[in-house]
Structure formats: C-alpha cells, structure tokens
Structure 1
Amino acid sequence: MVPVDNEGAERDAPLTAEKTRRTVPLPLTVFFVVAALVAGFVLGRPGHPLDTSADAGFLRDMSTHHAQAVDMAMIIYDETDEPRLKAVSYDIARTQQAQIGRMQGWLVQWGLTARGSQPPMTWMAGHDHGGPSGGAPDRMPGLATDEQMRSLADASGTDAEILFLELMIAHHKGGIEMAEAGADLAGDQMVVTLAGGMGTAQQSEIDLMNDMLVERGAEPVDD
C-alpha cells in the first residue's frame, strides 16, 4: 500500500457536533460530508496540481531517480563491511524509499497516476539546468547508466566502495539539480518544502562521501 499524507485527511475531516449545532440539520450535514469525501476521492485535494504540472512531474521523476539511489545503496550495503559506509548507504536507502512513498502518496491524493501523459523531465523545460535551448534535459540528471549499475554490482572490496561513492555523488548532484528546479517551479507548498529539504540533505551527504573517497585514496568528485 502506498503511504498517504495525513494532512489532507485532517483537512477533509467531518465537522464536529459543536460546529454543526444550530447551523445545518444533521441529515444535511452528513450528506454534505459524504459528498465532499466522494469528490475528494475522485478529484483529489481541492486545488490539486494538474497531471501536466511541475509538481506532478517532479514527484514522478524524483521517485524514479530515488529508486535507483535505493538500488545502489543496497548493493554497497550488502558488499561493504566498513561500518560508516554501511550506515551511510542504509540511511540513503531508508530516507529515499520513505520519500518515494510520500511523493507517490501525494499523487494518489491528487487523483493522479504514477506515470504522466508527458515524457520524463518535461516539467523542467525552461529552467536553468543546462539543457539544450532551454528545453527539458536529454536524460535525468545524475542517473547511472545500466553499464555503471552492472559494474557496481560486479565490483568488490575497496573498488566497489570507491565506485559507489563516485556514482552516488554524481547521482546526488543530479538530484540537487532536480530538487532546485522542483522548489522553483512547483506551486504546492508541500512539494516546494520537500524539494528544498532534499537539496540541503543531499549536499551534506556529498560532502561526507567526498571525505570517504579521500580516506580510500581516491580523488574527491569536483563540483
């Protein structure tokens, strides 16, 4: 089951008896409450973002981006015995999986599907991201290729740790680019807040992972 944000449920909660007393007869109150709940189920949260909005596009594409980070983190979690890297990879997997649930939950609340009618990354068109002629990026920023994912799965020991750190730093940099665009372009304050928090958290993890690269005799990934 996809987690659902409780804020919408609280806003849609029935009026209390104290608020309805001496105003609207109880049968009519029940009718209006049921009608509101049905409308909320069909249409989503009042004023919800549209299928083609930056909000929906960000939630969908960041969910896909996060899913790869979870896969990468669990690969190295199973491979490494180094306690700090094991803790970092587990935290990345746990945090980003939870955020996937949150983002998919909002889409459900809004009555939107997990996949939209537009190609991935369309929502970023026009944002200052370095894409061609101000259009949408050619590919999702920071996403590892299938070959890189296979290399990570096949690697072992320190080589696997270094490759993971390099790939995850690049992945986080792309995630920050998407998060900054989401915070700028989204209209729903929940999405804006989530995107802003993602950027801050991932930059902190980049700094930590660069330190871990140096500890393993590798060069840090430049900005």
Structure 2
Amino acid sequence: MGMTRTHWASITAVVLALLFAGGATLATAGDGGSSGPAAPTAESADAGFARDMSVHHQQAVEMSFVVRDRTDDEEVRRLAYDIANTQANQRGMMLGWLDLWGLPKVAPDAEPMAWMASGGGDGKDPHAGHSMAKAGEGSLMPGMATAEQLARLGRLSGERAEIEYLQLMIVHHNGGVDMAEGCVRLCTVGPERELARGMVDAQRSEVELMVDLLKKRGAQVRT
C-alpha cells in the first residue's frame, strides 16, 4: 500500500527532529569547538547526495503537478500529491543542510553522481558507478526523464497521462533508490543517512503501488 498523508506527516516530523539535532552538532563544529565533527566538504558524498537528490526530487515534484492537472482519477491524483509534498519537503531539508554546511547548492564543475562513483574515495565499493551506468540518455542522473518525455507527459490527458506518469515515476523512483542506497553506504552525517534510508523504504513501497496501478490499466512497467 502507498503511504498516506498522515504517515508522511509523522515521518516528516521525525526527520525534522533529526535535522535539528544534526544541525546543532554541526553548528558546534562550525563555532570552532574541538569536540564536534567537521562539516562535510563540497566533494563529500554528503554534499553530493544533497545536491543531486535535490535536483532529482525537483523533477518528481514537477511531473506530479503535471499529472494532477491532466487526470480526474482520485487515486493517481492522491499519489501525485503525496509524492510532490514529500519530495518537496525532503528537498528543502537537503538544501538546508547545504546552507548549514556553507556549501553551494549547485556545483557546475562537478559531474553528477561523482560522489557515488568514487565509492567514498577508496575505489573498493562494488556498487561504485552503478547508478551512473543506469542514467538514461539525455538525462543527468539515474531515472530522470528526458525533456522529450516530460513534453509528452504534458500533452497527454486522462488514462494515457496516468500510464505515462506511472511508467516515468517508477523508473524515476528506482533511480532514486539507487542514489539513496549510495548515501546510506557513503554519507557520514547521521541524519542524512537516516533520511536516505527512509527514502529507500518509502519509494520502494510507492513503486509497488504504481506497478499495481499500471496493471489495473492494462499497462506494463517501462524498462
């Protein structure tokens, strides 16, 4: 089953509590305290994940708002609302962390997903580069829709729009899960790892729901 708005409200409250706890720790380090950990660097997995997943989430929010205007199906509209609301909130958290760490939200000179391909810097992570290899042609990160696919979604309506959205979002979520699993392995800030772990669980649950919704419409998952 998909996560309800009430479930997401509870999850958000917990994550916000973790955010403030992590923020207090990093603020202490920033004040020159010797006991606290240093803030992540711009090249770290923590910063790379926050930057890249913020972009990834933004596209999910945009696609969800598009389909809400293209269908009257309440089940799909509710799913789209939950995805847009949750991912917009999570994006705000990640951008807030970058502000807290004094790091740029955009790194023009950094390759997307470089933080994950590095395997944390030791070159021994068997998953290193996995998500980069899955990035689709014309997209920057795993699962992201191309400009052509987004334009097509915007031209459709009714069940055709529902199917297109579900197919695109399943691929998008699967790519996001790969990225979040990378952060769980490589990120060093506890609250960020917990947020990433929550993304993995929630998006896998939503993928199961979306597969069922596709089956109801006689459509298959796009590979």
Query: If the length of structure 1 is used for normalisation, what is the TM-score?
Result: 0.77
Matched, 1:6 2:7: no
Match of 2:87 among 65, 75, 96: 96
Instruction: Check 1:189–1:136 CA distance in 2 against 1; reply closer, same or farther (3 A cut).
Output: same
1:219 is matched with 220
Matched, 1:204 2:195: no
Matched, 1:161 2:169: no
Which structure carries more relative contact order (alpha carbon 8 Å, separation 6+)? 2
1:58 is matched with 49
SS in structure 1 opposite 2:69? helix
Instruction: Check 1:110–1:167 CA distance in 2 against 1; reply closer, same or farther (3 A cut).
Output: same
Instruction: Check 1:129–1:146 CA distance in 2 against 1; reply closer, same or farther (3 A cut).
Output: farther
SS in structure 2 opposite 1:88? helix
Q: Percent identity?
A: 45
Match of 2:110 among 114, 118, 122: 118
AA in 1 matched with 2:21: E
Give the Cα separation in 2 of the matches to 1:128 and 1:146.
32
AA in 2 matched with 1:195: A
AA in 2 matched with 1:210: V
AA in 2 matched with 1:78: D
Give the Cα separation in 2 of the matches to 1:9 and 1:142.
30
Aligned length: 192
AA in 1 matched with 2:183: G
AA in 1 matched with 2:218: G
1:188 is matched with 189
2:152 is matched with 151
Q: Is the 8 A contact 2:52 2:112 kept in 1?
A: yes
| Unaligned residue ranges in structure 2 (runs of 5+) | 1-15, 120-124
Superposed counterparts of 1:36-75, under 5 Å: 40=31, 46-75=37-66
Greater CA radius of gyration, 1 or 2? 1
Give the Cα separation in 2 of the matches to 1:51 and 1:140.
19
AA in 2 matched with 1:6: F
Give the Cα separation in 1 of the matches to 2:171 and 2:112.
19
Q: Is the 8 A contact 1:141 1:174 kept in 2?
A: yes
| Unaligned residue ranges in structure 1 (runs of 5+) | 14-35
Q: Deviations over 1:96-141 (max 9, x none)?
A: 000000000011011111013522211011454584xx79546410
Instruction: Check 1:40–1:97 CA distance in 2 against 1; reply closer, same or farther (3 A cut).
Output: farther
